[in-house]
Amino acid sequence: MTSSCVNDQSFVDSQHIKTLDSVATLLKPKNPIADSSFTESGSEIAMAWRQLFTNTKRAVSIPPQQATSAPGLSRFFSKSSSPYLVKVGIPEFLNGIGKGVEAHVAKLESEIGDFHKLLVTRTLKLKKLGIPCQQRKLILKYAHKYRVGLWRPRAQPVKAG
């Protein structure tokens, strides 16, 4: 039974080799005189493709424990004391934006009510509430950034000037 698995594996490998050889021939220039810097043979290109294929297979098979314990990633993704709020509501969101948008907290809380509704609110609804154009743009811009995960309001707003 194990010998058939080995034969199947060698069959799969030989299929990959044939595919890689055909890719190497496609990548070879049509006129070698026009490209005099090209001196590699088709087998060398196929070998490069094979190495690339096996290296990507190894890179994908990293266990999740080792992937999260990479020493270089801890600099960028720390779990220690985050300066961002855990619970975000309409007042925290607008205060986090700043730039005069926080003046509309009461109006937006009474009309929209829910923070998640604010995230999907459109321009026309904000215009009907009487929010000026520049502040509407800020609310929509930061709502999109919040949804995508690029921005979060800070716990302590940054003092301006």
pLDDT (tens digit per residue) in 49-80: 777 777 765 555 555 555 555 555 555 555 55
Model pLDDT, residue 15? 61
Which of 94, 87, 80 has its CA nearest to residue 140? 94
Verdict on whether the full-model pTM lies above 0.95:
no
Q: Which residue has the higher pLDDT, 111 or 19?
A: 111
Q: Please report which confidence band the pLDDT of residue 159 belongs to, taking 50, 70 and 90 as the band edges.
A: low
Spell out the residues 6+ positions from residue 142 whose beta carbon is closer than 8 angstroms to its own: 93, 96, 97, 151
Q: Which residues pair with 84 in a beta bridge?
A: 154
Per DSSP, the residues of 133-145 read HHHHHHHHHHHHH
